[in-house]
Amino acid sequence: MVTYTPAWPEGLRSEAATLVDRFVADRAVERIWSADHLLWQSDPTEVTDRLGWLHVIEDIDVSGLESFAQQCVRDGFTDALVLGMGGSSLFPEVLAQTYPVGPGSLRLQTLDTTDPAAILRAAESATLDTTLFIVASKSGTTIETRSQLELLWSKVGNGDQFIAITDPDSQLVALAAQRGFRATFENRSDIGGRFSALSLFGLVPAALMGVEVGPMLASAGEAARACRSNGADNPAVQLAAAIVAANRAGRDKLTLVTDPRLAAFGLWFEQLIAESTGKRGTGVLPVVGERSLRTGDDRLFVHWAGVDAQPDGPTIIIDQWSADDLGALVFVWEMTTALIGAGLGVNPFDQPDVASAKAATNEVLESGLSVVETVSLSSLTGSLSPGDYLAVTAYVDPGSEDVAVLEAAREALADRLGVVTTFGLGPRFLHSTGQLHKGGRDNGVIVQVVSDDEVDVDIPGAPYSFSTLKQAQAQGDLAVLKQKGIRSGRVELSELAALVS
């Protein structure tokens, strides 16, 4: 079981202790388990129907998942490809990067982009005939996932190579039945995407790649029991109190320093924290993948004990980790996030500004693309002040060299400007940190980068292509940022590349 030891300077220790006492006095944990929406807001909407993650562990048919995975291998499949976005794909991506493929199992990959070059690689894969396509969408209508599905269906057209993971009675359930999908896994509907890691959305891919689902759920179950305590010994209470205390002191940037074996955990952690807390003008900015750990009055660190990189600042120490603890980590951080929402006075289960970005994309698709003028990088960075952060958001091919260039540029900007920086791939980040960019504190500067598309791919049945969809998502995102008065602009990729050339 993972253990947590908050290590606070005197200035934060008192406030954290006060918050622990408040959580205990308010019976916050007890109220979460009893689905009391008043802990967060007066309206039960998107609260009482979003707490299924508390109980989903006991619903999972482990032997059934393992039998299904074994049958897929016997039927000749060699690979599995998740078609998804945000909460439907991030935990499978963590699994694929964290665990080796088990013996007699499938190689797992995810496709969570609209970049046409990446889409084309998937559609022309050498293993197309032996790939099982996992169509993952809670609503069944996610534009990225449905577009990917239609293209790959046009290439393969064999229902036995497709499975669906979705909510009961979604459009995807009906489509899967119509097309004769090999299987449809209906997840309980009262779980939001970013809280779905330990549900079928995470565990079907886990079983297919040979991850031992039983021990993962056992670890999560142990954490769930620890997180039932309404006392100060509850690890989620300790974590949430420390994070909220730091946030109130201006330390709103939470930097994750992980064991290298768990580096990919940051992808899921980033969405969970940012999309859950970044609203109503507040929030916790997760910082992941940072190579040099710069200190500052606006920072708080979460550090795996034993990791060589040692942050110099207020730190939460995670005492131990092993591969079997991933389920526990997920559950404890889910409960922690629910408590952070209560401490900050926000609903951690909704995502209003994700919806606004989707609506803006649809408007662009209907009206047509327009020319977006680029701005100089200095025109954006010149507005930075102490306590601000710089987010590089990139609509590029996730498999291209552009990603490494932009990540290096992010680090160069952090060194030059002395501020916290983040990096996100679009449209993935729209379902993650995009909520915090638009709904959180007004202390972000958003640098948008959009690559030119040398190839394009039509979307069967749609009046637009993948390149048009990608460009519309970038254009819509920038429009919403501008409407909200957020410092933002599109910068040429070459200008960022010049920082590290």
Nearest to 60 by CA among 192, 208, 188: 188
Kindly state whether residue 124 falls inside one of the protein's structural domains.
yes
CA distance linking residue 193 with residue 266, whole number of Å? 16
Q: Is the domain of 371 the same as that of 484?
A: yes
Q: What is the pLDDT of residue 282?
A: 98
CA distance linking residue 377 with residue 393, whole number of Å? 13
Tokens, residue 458: 């039509």
DSSP state of 1: -
Burial call 93-118: b when 16+ CB within 10 Å, e when fewer: bbbbeebebbeebbbbbbbbbbbbbb
3-state secondary structure of 326: helix
Band of residue 342 on the pLDDT scale cut at 50, 70, 90: very high
Kindly state whether residue 223 falls inside one of the protein's structural domains.
no
* Helix H or strand E segment including 437: helix 433-439
What is the total count of domains within the chain?
3
Kindly state whether residue 43 falls inside one of the protein's structural domains.
no
Q: Is the domain of 311 the same as that of 371?
A: no
Band of residue 7 on the pLDDT scale cut at 50, 70, 90: low
3-state secondary structure of 206: helix
What DSSP string runs through 377-428? HHHHHTT--TT-EEEEEEES-TTSTHHHHHHHHHHHHHHHH-SEEEEEETTG
Band of residue 5 on the pLDDT scale cut at 50, 70, 90: low
Q: Is the domain of 112 the same as that of 143?
A: yes
pLDDT digit string, tens, across residues 402-429: 999 999 999 999 999 999 999 999 999 9
* Helix H or strand E segment including 147: helix 143-156
- The type of residue at 371 is V
Q: Which residues contact 252 (CB under 8 A, 6 or more apart)?
A: 246, 282, 283, 284, 285, 298, 441, 443
Kindly state whether residue 224 falls inside one of the protein's structural domains.
no
Q: What is the pLDDT of residue 284?
A: 98
Q: Is the domain of 203 the same as that of 75?
A: yes
DSSP state of 169: T
Q: Is the domain of 320 the same as that of 402?
A: no
Kindly state whether residue 55 falls inside one of the protein's structural domains.
no
Average pLDDT over residues 346-367: 95
Question: 467 lies in which domain range?
Answer: 352-497
Q: Is the domain of 362 the same as that of 294?
A: no
Query: 344, 371, 390 — which closes off a domain?
Result: 344
Q: Is the domain of 72 the same as that of 208?
A: yes
Tokens, residue 367: 């009206």
Asked if residue 32 has pLDDT above 70, the reply is: yes
CA distance linking residue 421 with residue 435, whole number of Å? 17
Q: What is the pLDDT of residue 307?
A: 77
Q: What is the pLDDT of residue 427?
A: 96
Q: What is the pLDDT of residue 8?
A: 58
pLDDT digit string, tens, across residues 296-337: 999 999 987 777 777 878 888 877 666 678 999 999 999 999
Nearest to 344 by CA among 254, 231, 226: 254
CA distance linking residue 45 with residue 370, whole number of Å? 37
pLDDT digit string, tens, across residues 368-377: 999 999 999 9
Note whether 372 and 490 are within 8 A (CB).
yes
Asked if residue 259 has pLDDT above 90, the reply is: no
Kindly state whether residue 331 falls inside one of the protein's structural domains.
no
Kindly state whether residue 169 falls inside one of the protein's structural domains.
yes
Asked if residue 229 has pLDDT above 80, the reply is: yes
Q: What is the pLDDT of residue 306?
A: 74
Tokens, residue 119: 């889409």
* Cβ count within 10 A of residue 186: 15
Q: What is the pLDDT of residue 484?
A: 96
pLDDT digit string, tens, across residues 34-70: 999 999 999 999 999 999 999 999 999 999 999 999 9
Q: Is the domain of 134 the same as that of 202?
A: yes
Average pLDDT over residues 222-231: 94
Average pLDDT over residues 127-147: 97
CA distance linking residue 468 with residue 456, whole number of Å? 9
Q: Is the domain of 29 the same as that of 65?
A: no
Asked if residue 475 has pLDDT above 60, the reply is: yes
Note whether 208 and 133 are within 8 A (CB).
no
CA distance linking residue 171 with residue 420, whole number of Å? 41
CA distance linking residue 153 with residue 213, whole number of Å? 29
Q: Is the domain of 177 the same as that of 246?
A: no
195: left (phi over 0), alpha (psi -120 to 50) or beta: alpha
* Cβ count within 10 A of residue 52: 18
Kindly state whether residue 465 falls inside one of the protein's structural domains.
yes
Entry pTM = 0.97
- List strands edge to edge, sheet with 107-111: 107-111, 79-83, 131-136, 162-166, 183-186
Q: Is the domain of 254 the same as that of 316?
A: yes
Query: 192, 216, 240 — which closes off a domain?
Result: 216
What is the domain-level CATH number for residue 489?
3.40.50.10490
Nearest to 420 by CA among 441, 391, 442, 447: 391
Asked if residue 257 has pLDDT above 60, the reply is: yes
Q: What is the pLDDT of residue 429?
A: 95
Angle between helices 466-483 and 116-123 (to 10 degrees): 150
Q: What is the pLDDT of residue 3?
A: 54
Q: Is the domain of 65 the same as that of 149?
A: yes
